[in-house]
Amino acid sequence: MPMRPHIICHMGTSIDGRLHPSRFTAAAAGVSREVLRSHYERIHDRFDADGWIIGRKTMSEMAKGSERPIAYAPKVPREAHLGKQNGRKLAIGIDPSGRVHYGKDNVGGDHAVAVLGQQVSDAYLAELREDGVSWVFAGAKGDDLPGAMAQIGALFGVKTLLLEGGGKINGAFLKHGLIDEFSTLIYPAVDGVAGAQSIVDYDGPEGDRPGAGQALRLTHCETLEGGMVWLRHSVERAPG
């Protein structure tokens, strides 16, 4: 199988591991909430990765497209389709059921790539083709993430991707051994709500640990303006 890209899970979190800044406690006196929020995109840009990966819900919010009924959609073979990347970075959406609607070939200026299950309809694929969106298939159910990442690496020639959650997508990537590094920005704040989504929320059988056989090694620790802490950990895997 072709080499997959190097994948960095880049996330911002409260000190209790939660993901939604709208629920965080207020910034301390004299600390700008805008400065704290700006760190995430600044470090995202600093990585200069070839693209980024998010889940269906977040991609739907960002793409803002609408479903278009397409009558008499032709039968489409279940194989990868490449739109025109034109040198742009990739905006990759993990969308097994084909529920994201784009309306264009980019998200925030980056070329849209859908990671799908083979069960999606021909009408949906016709919509994506009209929009100029690229796609790859991650097996029948859309859960073959290793295969999808290998395809993206081979077809687009990308070397590094940022995985930017939410927690369930991050958990699935961790379970498959697809995260090579964590980049974690810790806000000087708490959320405190039980059951709120965290950096990794693996949705699997009880007792099934997604990080089994993997260990983290601290490679960077930096305090940023406003008291945010930036940590980087490499992921080490047990032999075999």
52, containing H or E segment: strand 51-55
Low-confidence ranges of the chain (pLDDT < 70): 1-2, 240
pLDDT of 240 reads 59
Listed residue (160, 163, 114, 120) closest to 136, CA to CA: 114
pLDDT of 203 reads 78
Reduced DSSP (H G I as helix, E B as strand, rest coil) percent helix, strand, coil of the chain, to 5: 25, 25, 50
Alpha carbon distance 134, 137 (integer Å) = 11
pLDDT of 2 reads 59
Structure tokens at 203: 């949705």
Alpha carbon distance 32, 15 (integer Å) = 18
Indicate the pTM of the whole model. 0.94
Alpha carbon distance 80, 114 (integer Å) = 10
Alpha carbon distance 223, 235 (integer Å) = 22
Torsion angle in degrees (nearest 10) through CA of 189, 190, 191, 192 = -170
The answer to whether 84 and 133 are in contact (CB under 8 A) is: no
Q: Helix or strand or coil: residue 168?
A: helix
Listed residue (158, 186, 162, 187) closest to 173, CA to CA: 162
The residue type found at 65 is G
Distances, alpha carbon 29 to alpha carbons 11, 23, 66, 213, 226, in Å: 25, 18, 43, 43, 10
pLDDT of 171 reads 93
Alpha carbon distance 228, 149 (integer Å) = 31
Alpha carbon distance 51, 160 (integer Å) = 7
pLDDT of 114 reads 98
Structure tokens at 216: 């983290």
The answer to whether 82 and 111 are in contact (CB under 8 A) is: no
169, containing H or E segment: helix 167-175
pLDDT of 31 reads 96
